[in-house]
Amino acid sequence: MIDLNAILLKHKVFVDTSSWMFPPSEAFFHGPMEQALRSTGQKLVLPGKVLEEVKKFLNHEDQEKRTRSRTAASILQKYIDEGLVQVFGSQNDPFTDQTILYVFQQFRVRYHLALITQDKGLATDVYNLNHQRAVSGQPIRVFRVNMHGQLSEWRFDDGSGTQAAPGAAPRHGRHREARQGDDAGQSPHPKKPHAELGVDDEQTAEDDKPIIRFRLGTHVESGGNELMSCRHLPGEGDAVISARYGQVRLGEPIGRGGEGDIYRTDTGLVCKIYKKEKLTQARCEKLKLMLTVPVERKGICWPRDIVTNQYGEFVGYLMDAAEGKPMQTCLFAKPVLLKNFPDWTRANLVKLCHTMLSQIEYLHERNIIIGDINPMNILIKNDREVYFVDTDSYQIENYPCPVGTVNFTAPEIQGKNFGTFLRTFEHEYFAVATLIFMTLLPGKPPYSQQGGGTPEDNIRKMDFPYPFGDDSTGKAPDGPWRFIWSHLTYKVKEALYKTFKENERVSVSELKFLIQQYHYSIVKQWSSDELFPMSHKIPEGKAVMMTCSKCGQEKQVHINHKQKLEQAGKPFICEECFQRNRLQRLQRMQAAAAGTTAAYPGNAQPKLGGTTQAGTRPRTGGSTGPTTNARPAGPTGTKGPWGPTGPTGTGATVRKPNAGPRTPPQAGTRPQVSPGSGAQKAQPARKKSLLDRLIDFLSNI
């Protein structure tokens, strides 16, 4: 842990624009840094150019930069008003980076200097001043704010044990580009996604490669819908030809879909062979375009090469193999979640969210829009390994994603033909937020509610049922969902609420940061790690203990709830006992309904003139013919669904309940089920009633 007080007392600490605008810095500057400045009486050193750069971003066309600049401006204003910073310089100064470098070069002999920056290039250049042999001075320290809102020191070990610059671009090159209009004097080259976030342990080899991007689309590509010639469609055991991999042999099919079939191959890759009616010129051209930008990331099953048949005709493409199970079928219900991942806690779900957001962020950095974010196309192996499949449907430049689902479609494009327009990142942010919501509340769509309209109507109206602050519709669905929602961190709830209620969407990077904070909160035990909590989150200082009147266990409750119960003179029942009592009550209702159905089969149709067969259910109106809905009698001496059976194994007289049939019974004695040796007619499975389904649902909560 870095001692902030010691740093401030010994060093003059400079902070550049990137750290003021870094989202996790809000907690850092309002918390540890502010406390340390007040306790030591020191001030941060602020280049005047920082204020100008932050101000410039207030009206930036990019919403994320506007949001970050507003937060930074608010913090800076507070620091200036309360005398926590010392501003130096003027508008005529060069860019902030150059100003800081000049000051550090000139004054490192006289002072101990320290810099806080998220810019790895600037951090490297400032740190390398320590190695200047011509001038000896005080050692310079370089820090950053990490993802958890804490101060960390930059590390520049190049792997050989020496401190070296990790491949930073020359400063003169970066500033030459900056003077031509680059934002805030930053590098014209795309920043490494994790370098900007200051997460050293996530800087992988692939992050060090320059990012090649697709162009953003401007219009829907027209034409190319004519079918291509295909004299032979390859199948299992056939060979296809790849320019990159040569002859590839198709193995067993591992998946079949509306567009084509997926086969194993002898290369370790898998091959998608399209159906003949899907082999269009446009599809072939789009795949060729996809191959022009390298997407080499584990978990994204990107096309590796197109394949042809023996006649040189386009038939499909090769891609990486995926692992895991579809998210829709392995995660989106409590029973399947517990079956597939029995050891998971909430921390695993949150980590899974972070993993998926990292994959989507990687795609967005390359101007790839998924379009159809669909849980069937995301395969889960574990919380750190997910696979995105069906990538050939992604929106690439002017080729739109032609498919989508209601729950993941933004309000403004509900009901539209997806193949006729290009989605935007704003549309994608809505879908991504929905994916994260349905992961944190496993399988529950954000607009699902009590008494609402259709999913499409709810989304169009932005009728989000979950409470935030003083706003509550009271329509959040029953079960654990409202409890889970209450246990999410404030920032995560705020981001989701603004997305689904106020139509203010957060970027993937912002959401990823909030999710990482949530995970940290769970690790620190500030947030619940329960997958399905059984009660609302209780604010700090509002929790009291009460003893359940049913099970006798002590439970933590909100003090307001305790006061209400005491005022009403009601006993306290914990959530587990409440749900158990509710389930038992429904089961009794089900048993009563089953008894009524047993006595009065509304759909039993007798065969006239026949005799009652053994094990068949008698007609209650006096006819002796067997029914078409034959069911076997219960075991000897037991009580089955059709009433008690006699000691000899024959059915006892079926008795009517008090309600009685709508039509009066015929005269005569009621028939009894007589034994016999005839074969019983197979009984079709009874369709579950709404009550049955409700009991099943509550049993799985």
DSSP track, 457-504: HHHHHT---S-BTTB--S-PPTTTHHHHHHHS-HHHHHHHHHHHHS--
Which residue ranges in the chain fall short of pLDDT 70? 63, 89-96, 133-136, 157-209, 540, 596-701
Beta-carbon count within 10 A of 581 CB: 12
Q: Collect all residues with Cβ–Cβ distance below 8 Å to 502 and sequence separation of at least 6.
A: 462
pLDDT of residue 92: 56
Q: Find out whether 627 and 619 touch, Cβ atoms under 8 Å.
A: yes
What residue type is assigned to position 354 of the chain? H
What residue type is assigned to position 429 of the chain? Y
Q: Is the dihedral of CA 53, 59, 61, 65 positive or negative?
A: positive
pLDDT of residue 314: 96
Return d(Cα 157, Cα 128) in angstroms, integer.
12
Give the DSSP letter string of 239-258.
Answer: EEEETTTEEEEEEEEEEE-S
Alpha helices by DSSP H, 41-131: 48-57, 63-81, 96-107, 120-127
Q: At what angle do helices 346-365 and 508-523 cross, to 10 degrees?
A: 160
Start-to-end CA distance of the chain, whole Å, equals 42
Q: Is the dihedral of CA 548, 554, 560, 562 positive or negative?
A: positive
Beta-carbon count within 10 A of 511 CB: 26
pLDDT of residue 59: 82
CATH number for the region 4-203 comes to 3.40.50.1010
Phi, psi (degrees; rounded to nearest 5) at 409: -105, 130
Q: What are the domain boundaries of the chain?
A: 4-203, 239-319, 335-523, 544-557+564-597+694-701
CATH number for the region 335-523 comes to 1.10.510.10
* CATH code matching the domain that covers 239-319, chosen among 3.30.200.20, 1.20.1250.20, 3.40.190.290, 3.30.1360.120: 3.30.200.20
